[in-house]
């Protein structure tokens, strides 16, 4: 009970701090020049790298799983630091884009013609990416190009902070729905010609609609929702990702297009999607959120030695969720 009380105390104390930081960010960041925004991002990223010892340990463990002993200690540290800088740039960019949003997106984000053509030809579609590059900019850039989009947002910090960040994300006109109960909204959007954007690199339990697939050779729980929606609603999946440029702009790069197949097994399709973004991550590892505990849970029956130090056995039996299946109908 005491432990629960301490958690509630710190959560309540955190709320005004979060509110102040968001308030400060909304006032300080939007007036900055592109150069100023990049300098601030770099400082925040380096500061976080210096103090986040736990996150750095997770990032280093992830890199060792991904690349084995091929990285020197110096190269490993450099990749982790650059990953922190990239995450800071994404966060700062959310606030910076809140002023003259449409003009800044059109000026700072360029689509590969292949991606834009695919989004227009295959509308509606399911766009899939990962927490890679600037994942926030993908749907915003699509909306700025005249393509209606709906995205899913998980809770970040307190409800108040989540609401404020969601409002910033939605300024361009994209529809954002909370992760809880999102499936019915996504189905409704696709049926009405609205494309949806999903990120599939966070752990999803089997009872939440996930499947165990191999990511860098180690099982990870990944959502089957993109594959199931593609199969049920007969819409394609478009994999795309954003590449930050040194001058502050972003370029939306093409991945692969997966056409709907009613006979396609959802687990096999999910494995294909994971392999698609694994190929990109191998080329640009520092653009991924390396400090995320991607292999958070150990697949039942697997040896713990295959997983990073932070992995834990699942607390609940990995059984299929009939509610998730029912919501797809």
CA 43 to chain centre: 23
Q: Looking at residue 23, what is its pLDDT? A: 83
Q: Looking at residue 180, what is its pLDDT? A: 83
Q: Looking at residue 1, what is its pLDDT? A: 47
Q: Which of 203, 201, 284 is nearest to 242 (CA)?
A: 284
- The residue-averaged pLDDT of 231-243 equals 95
Q: Looking at residue 21, what is its pLDDT? A: 81
CA 133 to chain centre: 9
Q: Looking at residue 237, what is its pLDDT? A: 97
Q: Which one has a higher pLDDT value, 12 or 240? A: 240
**pLDDT band for position 163 (cuts 50, 70, 90):** confident
274-287 burial, b if ≥16 CB within 10 A, otherwise e?
bebbbebbeebbbb
Percentage, residues of the chain above pLDDT 90: 70
Q: Looking at residue 11, what is its pLDDT? A: 63
Residue 37 has φ and ψ, to the nearest 5°, of -60, -40
Q: For the ranges 80-89, 216-225, 310-319, which has the lowest average pLDDT?
A: 310-319
Q: Looking at residue 3, what is its pLDDT? A: 60
- The residue-averaged pLDDT of 42-55 equals 96
- The residue-averaged pLDDT of 11-40 equals 86
Q: Which of 176, 196, 178, 200 is nearest to 186 (CA)?
A: 196
- Round the average pLDDT of the chain to a whole number and report it: 89
**122 with 231: CB under 8 angstroms?**
no
pLDDT tens digits, one per residue of 91-148: 999 899 988 888 999 999 999 999 999 999 999 999 999 999 999 899 999 999 999 9
**pTM score, two decimals?**
0.91
Q: For the ranges 67-76, 95-104, 150-159, which has the lowest average pLDDT?
A: 150-159
**313 with 254: CB under 8 angstroms?**
no
Domain ranges of the chain: 2-327
Residues 6+ apart with CB under 8 A from 181: none
Q: Which of 84, 205, 199, 102 is nearest to 146 (CA)?
A: 102
- The residue-averaged pLDDT of 78-101 equals 94
CA angle 207, 211, 212 (to 5 degrees): 120
- The residue-averaged pLDDT of 35-46 equals 96
- The residue-averaged pLDDT of 165-181 equals 81
Q: Which of 57, 49, 69, 51 is nearest to 308 (CA)?
A: 57
Q: Looking at residue 156, what is its pLDDT? A: 73
pLDDT tens digits, one per residue of 174-214: 888 888 888 999 999 999 999 999 999 999 998 889 999 99
pLDDT tens digits, one per residue of 265-284: 999 999 999 999 999 999 99
Percentage, residues of the chain above pLDDT 70: 90
Q: Does residue 25 register a pLDDT over 90?
A: no
């Amino acid at each position: 009970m005491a432990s629960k009380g301490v958690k509630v105390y710190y959560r309540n104390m955190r709320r005004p701090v979060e509110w102040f930081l968001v308030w400060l960010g909304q006032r300080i960041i939007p007036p900055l020049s592109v150069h100023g925004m990049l300098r601030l991002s770099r400082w925040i990223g380096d500061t976080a790298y210096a103090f986040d010892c736990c996150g750095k340990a997770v990032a280093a463990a992830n890199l060792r799983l991904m690349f084995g002993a091929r990285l020197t200690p110096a190269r490993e540290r450099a990749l982790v630091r650059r990953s922190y800088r990239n995450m800071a740039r994404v966060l700062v960019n959310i606030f910076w884009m809140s002023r003259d949003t449409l003009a800044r997106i059109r000026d700072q984000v360029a689509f590969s013609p292949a991606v834009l053509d695919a989004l227009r030809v295959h509308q509606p579609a399911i766009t899939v990416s990962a927490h890679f590059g600037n994942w926030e900019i993908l749907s915003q850039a699509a909306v700025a190009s005249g393509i209606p989009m709906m995205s899913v947002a998980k809770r970040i910090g307190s409800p108040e902070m989540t609401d404020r960040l969601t409002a910033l994300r939605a300024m361009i006109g994209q529809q954002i729905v909370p992760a809880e109960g999102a499936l019915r909204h996504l189905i409704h959007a696709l049926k009405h010609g609205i494309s949806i954007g999903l990120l599939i690199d966070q752990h999803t339990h089997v009872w939440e609609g996930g499947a165990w697939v191999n990511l860098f050779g180690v099982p990870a729980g990944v959502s089957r929702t993109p594959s199931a929606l593609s199969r049920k609603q007969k819409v394609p999946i478009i994999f795309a990702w954003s590449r930050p440029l040194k001058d502050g702009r972003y370029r939306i790069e093409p991945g692969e297009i997966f056409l709907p197949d009613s006979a396609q097994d959802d687990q096999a399709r999910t494995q294909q999607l994971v392999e698609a973004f694994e190929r990109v991550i191998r080329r640009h590892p520092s653009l991924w959120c390396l400090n995320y505990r991607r292999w958070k849970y150990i697949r039942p029956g697997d040896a713990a030695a295959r997983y990073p130090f932070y992995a834990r056995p699942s607390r609940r039996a990995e059984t299929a969720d009939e509610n998730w299946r029912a919501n797809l109908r």
